[in-house]
Amino acid sequence: MSERVVMVTGALAGIGRATATAFARQGAAVVVSGRRDEEGKAFAAELRELGADAEYIRADVSIEDDVRALVDGTVKTFGQLDVAVNNAGFTGSRGPLVSQTLEAYNAVFDINVRGMFFSLKHELRVMTEQGFGSIINLSSTFGERGGPGAALYSASKHAVNGFTRSAALEVAARGIRVNAVAPGPVATGGLDRFAGGDRALRGTTGGNPIHDRKTHFLFPIEVGAAHRETIHGGVVEWRHIDGRNDVFGEHASGCLAQRYGVTTLN
């Protein structure tokens, strides 16, 4: 994949960082994006030390002009856009729905929903002209199931799934694939902030209090590897911390690569 050009939003930490690193190790040219310029430039330099062509372009995905500039900047720098990983997201603060405010709603939906809309719009604009491309959207198991205290986040990820399925149908005949990866709990700073340090909550994917489930966590680098395999049409493999593997999904568009069993394996 030495000639692949990959763009990753929300690339400066967690899943996004692991995904960008996985692509760089495979020889792709990588554009990383985020809102912290010094960190972004430093991360791009780290990827170049791995032997990859890499650039940082600042973008707030909730601002359409930023997203347009990010996509156009990627094409200007590397000539095309083969793969887009829409990872930028925000969990918000957990709590009962009745306690949530309009400000809290906007904070989550501005990034997770409006940002997804802008990203897909401009990525597909370029990929449609090219006649090829692959898009991976970051969803969540919360996008198919609810969770107590997670109404805003869950609703935003349901929207991601809707965007994914609809966009895939629109562009499938044009040689473009649109898929989503929907992980369960992943050991990131975002999950820690959302869970407030509650390990039991960090192990939930749907918050079903009826079942006593054994918790398994994924590491960001493992999710990043799953993105890499999904994008290139191979079989997706998730490796749990305890070494167990699960395989799912291949050669598809409009699918959700989901791992509900992250918290249910015994």
Q: How far is CA 20 from CA 1, 11, 14, 130, 235, in A?
A: 14, 7, 10, 22, 19
| Sequence-ordered list of residues with C-beta below 8 angstroms from that of 113, at least 6 positions apart, any chain | 156, 159, 160
Of 123, 27, 26, 40, nearest to 82 by C-alpha is 123
- Tell me how far apart the alpha carbons of residues 151 and 157 are, in angstroms, rounded to a whole number: 10
The pairing of beta strand 83-86 with beta strand 236-239: unpaired
- Tell me how far apart the alpha carbons of residues 180 and 186 are, in angstroms, rounded to a whole number: 16
- Tell me how far apart the alpha carbons of residues 240 and 244 are, in angstroms, rounded to a whole number: 5
Of 134, 11, 120, nearest to 64 by C-alpha is 120
Give the CA count within 13 Å in the CB-facing half-sphere of 161.
19
Please check whether residue 37 is in contact with residue 236, taking contact to mean a CB–CB distance below 8 angstroms: no
Please, where are the H alpha helices in 112-263?
115-130, 151-171, 189-195, 199-202, 220-231
Please provide the DSSP assignment of 52-89 as one string: --EEEEE--TTSHHHHHHHHHHHHHHHS---EEEE---
Give catalytic residue positions. Answer: 153
SS3 181: strand
